Structure 1
Amino acid sequence: MKKILIIDDEVNVALLLSKFLTRNGFDVQTASNGTTGMECLKNGSFNLVLCDFRLEDTDGREMLKNIKQQYPQTGVIIITGYSDIKMAVELIKMGAYDYITKPLYPDEILNTVNKAIETQYALMEDLHDNGPIISKSKEQRKNTPNNEFVFGNSRASKEIIRQIDLVAPTNYSVIIIGDSGTGKEAVAKSIHMNSPRHNNPFVAMDCGSLTKELAASEFFGHEKGSFTGALYTKIGHFEMANGGTLFLDEVGNLSYDIQAALLRTVQERKVKRIGSTKEIDLDVRIIVATNENLQDSIQKGRFREDLYHRFNEFSIHMPPLRDRGSDIMLLADHFLVIANQELSRSVSSFSPEVVECFMSYRWPGNIRELKNIVRRATLLTEGDEIMMKALPLEISNRMAAFDYGVTNNGSAISQSENIEIKQNRHDLKNAALEAEYETILKVLKEVNFNKTKAAEMLKIDRKTLYNKMKAINLK
């Protein structure tokens, strides 16, 4: 029987928790303060500790520190009031499994307790059978064409890898923060693949493309006939990701009422399809990504603070590519291998001029821009080396500050002449595609790759923009 220790100086709360968990099959012991709690741990082995953040003789921070130092294999859940949520999140980063807030709800308590114990068992089995998950991920750190996340050599990349190793084996929700194109989804997939959930689904959802009307159906699903146009039963993304990981990109774009429904689902770990009375139990890890400052959105009333704290059990900040100088050519080589496979080409390298150009360019579109430029250059290259003429204008003219280019014999040519030379290499159809590519890329950069704003500026709808980006391999 799984053993739980409850440490709470409110006798009534401890008694109610004890009776409830005992009825649900747990062996429960209680302690009224931190000192007594540590004595209980010394005299017996416990799978889990439920510890109130505010105790008469200590606090949750000190208790967590002592428990993790002396009994590292024992899970800890913090019981806290709403005003202490920020501190509870900090305690999670220190090693607590999760927190539950007062007033306490039976379903939330039972679900959180069960998941905490399951996670502890999964980690122990992995340690016993295979060694730590972290060790496995380090052994497999080789950049292959199938890799979503490319392991770089820069200090920033090494810090990201360290954080992935740290959080992947846990069940924490994660916020990945960074500019568009920095590789947030790749990091989310890496966390999933190095977690105990790696054999279960990874489901990605672009919150930026959701309308208010469709969001509930996409998240929670619906039953046939539940509303006008519901011609069939639809499984929502939460249900699709059950047992695995749900990745929510551009989460800051969700409407406030959808955030409220999302909060309830995250807290209760249950989902109900629109038009159904049946609740479905959820076991989903949530990873979200944003290029916005959610703290500012909270201050402006656009994002719920309680939902933010539910997501922010752990955070990873993605640096822009310009701050990862030593990774640029490593990434470029990786994308070249992928492009060769996609296009059945055998381009082997970049010319010294291209390497110098790549290293001096600011990369406003980050890794996504680099990937697209390498793919495009591979398509345009006829030999085995990518030359400057295969690069888009904003890249190839970078070293001449957009005023002059330099020919192979060293003579200067104007930018207009350079454009004419490039366009003479294409027929009319390709020239039109080239112009469309340049326009779309320019607008995306101006709006920091916000697709909604880009579509408005281009005077097309978002779906058309997606289709055009797909057509020119601009993903």
Structure 2
Amino acid sequence: MTKSILIIEDDITFGMMLKTWLEKKGFQVSSASTIAHAQKYIETNDVNLILSDLRLPDHDGIFLLKWMLRKKLNIPLIIMTGYADIQSAVQAIKLGAQDYIAKPVNPEILLKKIEEAFLPPQKAATASINPISQKLDKEHPSGFLEGESEAARQLYNYVRLVAPTNMSVLIMGASGTGKEHVAHRIHQLSKRNASPFVAMDCGAIPKELAASEFFGHKKGAFTGALTDKTGAFVAANGGTLFLDEVGNLSYEVQVQLLRALQERKIRPVGSNEEIKVDIRLVTATNENLEEAIKEGNFREDLFHRINEFTLHIPNLKDRKEDILLFAKFFLDKANQDLNKQITGFDSKASITLESYHWPGNLRQMQNVIKRATLLAQGDVITLAELGDEISDTNNENGSSTSLSLYNEESEKEQILKALKQTGNNKSKAAQILGIDRKTLYNKLKRHNIQP
């Protein structure tokens, strides 16, 4: 009988990809984005295994394990964690977690850990399939909405054109436009789709750990290397390696990356043996890499290596025909996550969604819709649930002070203006500039701005 898995992950896109992959492997999969939602689901459904991110918006995996101990729930739990949280993962295992797996997740390693968790065999699940999940999977088998605007059609025509090749693809676009989804869609449509898709956020990798994250390491290679580690190149072998925010890599790491791409061989830290790798590289950035080359911050030879084919993702405000389509798509996903049945938006809310400039693009819309779905008391979302940020389309932000990440000369001036406008509130400043907070911090450091 089919085994049931509950995924607890607040990265909705990653969670959906993982859900789709596990369903293809024959599991019945449900998802939750918070510990509270997960607890509610566990109490009312049969769950054979839990796959949980360590850090979640309301609590962490340790909190969930302690709750399960109090409830005497004997459900295997696998923790997903970044390299920096390995010690917390060890604590989780001491509290009864079945295992942990480091991010970026290697699907084959994860599958092996799941199979091990089901030994000896446990009673199969009888939980019913979420009808909203069925609707999403039927209407959007790729796990995401492409859109119907001319800009969207052109973008995905290019995606379908380049996907079957082995060309390296550089995806350019502002924060929140869906660069990782486009990368994953390239993988899905490629001849490598049966092999792993491994995503890495280059902006989150400390320089001193970059070689380990890319190439892996041997036990004892450096302080803290308590076990062997599989790097992203080996994890993605035969499949696709996606490097997000590639412009944030340090110059030294760029040299190492270029060598690996040229030789198609890697050497784990602390090892004398080289490993052959076969990966298709897809990268993404919201930086102007040509300007970075002129300033000496990015290697020109690496740029040409990763830029055999370029895709430009338009901002949401330039895809007016797609705005309500995405709003409904995110509403369906929010209904699924929050166990609600909101049917749509009233006329004023719809007009407001279409007229808003969306500096944070799809990521901002997804967050706004999810919050509105949570707050909605009736059958539809109104202006009241959308909040002042969206409803006040004539506010100072609406004049589109969105940061152009392709104009280095005015970039610092725009950042300073946004910080002054928000009283040095970095989260609000990033929203005005149309970038995420992590990117803003990188730019503050680059321009030596200390608000």
Q: Shorter chain as normaliser: what TM range?
A: 0.5 to 0.7
Answer yes or no: is the 8 Å Cα contact 1:176–1:288 preserved in 2.
yes
Pick aligned residue for 1:182 from 160, 177, 182: 177
Distance in 2, matches of 1:254 and 1:402, equals 31
Report the residue type matching 2:209 in the other structure.
Answer: L
When residues 390 and 171 of structure 1 are mapped into structure 2, their CA distance, relative to the original with a 3 A threshold, is same
Answer yes or no: is the 8 Å Cα contact 1:144–1:334 preserved in 2.
no
Pick aligned residue for 1:242 from 225, 229, 237: 237
Residue 165 of structure 2 corresponds to which residue in structure 1? 170
Distance in 2, matches of 1:208 and 1:384, equals 41
Structure of higher CA gyration radius: 1
Distance in 1, matches of 2:365 and 2:174, equals 14
Answer yes or no: is the 8 Å Cα contact 2:169–2:281 preserved in 1.
yes
Residue 437 of structure 2 corresponds to which residue in structure 1? 451
Distance in 2, matches of 1:401 and 1:269, equals 51
Answer yes or no: is the 8 Å Cα contact 1:250–1:291 preserved in 2.
yes
Distance in 1, matches of 2:386 and 2:365, equals 11
Once the two structures are TM-superposed, the CA of residue 398 in structure 1 deviates from its matched residue by: 1.7
Pick aligned residue for 2:306 from 307, 311, 335: 311
Q: CA RMSD in A?
A: 2.6
Residue 199 of structure 2 is aligned to residue 213 of structure 1: no
Residue 291 of structure 2 corresponds to which residue in structure 1? 296
Aligned residues: 286
Residue 362 of structure 1 corresponds to which residue in structure 2? 357
Distance in 1, matches of 2:385 and 2:364, equals 15
When residues 185 and 360 of structure 1 are mapped into structure 2, their CA distance, relative to the original with a 3 A threshold, is same
Aligned counterparts, 1:34-113, within 5 A: none
When residues 453 and 184 of structure 1 are mapped into structure 2, their CA distance, relative to the original with a 3 A threshold, is closer
Residue 436 of structure 1 corresponds to which residue in structure 2? none
Once the two structures are TM-superposed, the CA of residue 210 in structure 1 deviates from its matched residue by: 1.1
Residue 390 of structure 2 is aligned to residue 395 of structure 1: yes
Residue 130 of structure 1 corresponds to which residue in structure 2? none
Once the two structures are TM-superposed, the CA of residue 148 in structure 1 deviates from its matched residue by: 3.9
* Runs of 4+ deviating beyond 4 Å: 399-403, 453-458
3-state SS, counterpart of residue 398 of structure 1? coil
Residue 72 of structure 2 corresponds to which residue in structure 1? none
Once the two structures are TM-superposed, the CA of residue 401 in structure 1 deviates from its matched residue by: 7.0
Residue 338 of structure 2 corresponds to which residue in structure 1? 343
3-state SS, counterpart of residue 282 of structure 2? strand
Residue 266 of structure 2 is aligned to residue 280 of structure 1: no
Answer yes or no: is the 8 Å Cα contact 2:361–2:434 preserved in 1.
no
3-state SS, counterpart of residue 139 of structure 2? coil
Once the two structures are TM-superposed, the CA of residue 393 in structure 1 deviates from its matched residue by: 1.5
Once the two structures are TM-superposed, the CA of residue 355 in structure 1 deviates from its matched residue by: 0.8
Residue 204 of structure 1 corresponds to which residue in structure 2? 199
When residues 400 and 456 of structure 1 are mapped into structure 2, their CA distance, relative to the original with a 3 A threshold, is closer
Answer yes or no: is the 8 Å Cα contact 2:237–2:279 preserved in 1.
yes
Pick aligned residue for 2:373 from 350, 375, 378: 378
Report the residue type matching 2:251 in the other structure.
Answer: Y
Residue 96 of structure 2 corresponds to which residue in structure 1? none
Residue 149 of structure 2 is aligned to residue 154 of structure 1: yes
Aligned counterparts, 1:320-339, within 5 A: 320-339=315-334
3-state SS, counterpart of residue 238 of structure 2? coil
When residues 369 and 142 of structure 1 are mapped into structure 2, their CA distance, relative to the original with a 3 A threshold, is same
Distance in 2, matches of 1:174 and 1:208, equals 19
TM-score normalised by length of structure 2: 0.60
Pick aligned residue for 1:191 from 186, 195, 211: 186
Distance in 2, matches of 1:375 and 1:270, equals 44
Distance in 1, matches of 2:219 and 2:388, equals 51
Once the two structures are TM-superposed, the CA of residue 447 in structure 1 deviates from its matched residue by: 4.8
Distance in 2, matches of 1:178 and 1:164, equals 15
Once the two structures are TM-superposed, the CA of residue 382 in structure 1 deviates from its matched residue by: 1.3
Once the two structures are TM-superposed, the CA of residue 150 in structure 1 deviates from its matched residue by: 1.3
Answer yes or no: is the 8 Å Cα contact 1:148–1:190 preserved in 2.
no
Residue 15 of structure 1 corresponds to which residue in structure 2? none
Distance in 2, matches of 1:455 and 1:244, equals 32
Once the two structures are TM-superposed, the CA of residue 178 in structure 1 deviates from its matched residue by: 0.5
When residues 452 and 301 of structure 1 are mapped into structure 2, their CA distance, relative to the original with a 3 A threshold, is same
Gaps of 5+ in 1: 1-140, 404-438, 459-475
Report the residue type matching 1:341 in the other structure.
Answer: Q
Post-superposition CA distance 1:281-313 (Å, at most 9, x none): 111001000001101001111000100001011
Distance in 2, matches of 1:313 and 1:457, equals 27
Gaps of 5+ in 2: 1-135, 399-424, 445-451
Once the two structures are TM-superposed, the CA of residue 453 in structure 1 deviates from its matched residue by: 5.4
Once the two structures are TM-superposed, the CA of residue 446 in structure 1 deviates from its matched residue by: 3.9
Pick aligned residue for 1:257 from 248, 252, 255: 252
Distance in 2, matches of 1:310 and 1:256, equals 15
Pick aligned residue for 1:229 from 224, 234, 252: 224
Distance in 1, matches of 2:334 and 2:227, equals 39
3-state SS, counterpart of residue 160 of structure 1? helix
Answer yes or no: is the 8 Å Cα contact 2:426–2:437 preserved in 1.
no
Answer yes or no: is the 8 Å Cα contact 1:148–1:189 preserved in 2.
no
Distance in 2, matches of 1:447 and 1:307, equals 28
When residues 274 and 447 of structure 1 are mapped into structure 2, their CA distance, relative to the original with a 3 A threshold, is farther
Q: Which has the higher contact order (CA 8 A, sep 6+)?
A: 2
Once the two structures are TM-superposed, the CA of residue 239 in structure 1 deviates from its matched residue by: 0.8
Once the two structures are TM-superposed, the CA of residue 180 in structure 1 deviates from its matched residue by: 0.4
3-state SS, counterpart of residue 309 of structure 1? helix
Residue 442 of structure 1 corresponds to which residue in structure 2? 428
3-state SS, counterpart of residue 204 of structure 1? strand
Answer yes or no: is the 8 Å Cα contact 1:447–1:453 preserved in 2.
no
Answer yes or no: is the 8 Å Cα contact 1:377–1:390 preserved in 2.
yes
Once the two structures are TM-superposed, the CA of residue 278 in structure 1 deviates from its matched residue by: 1.1
Answer yes or no: is the 8 Å Cα contact 1:347–1:384 preserved in 2.
yes
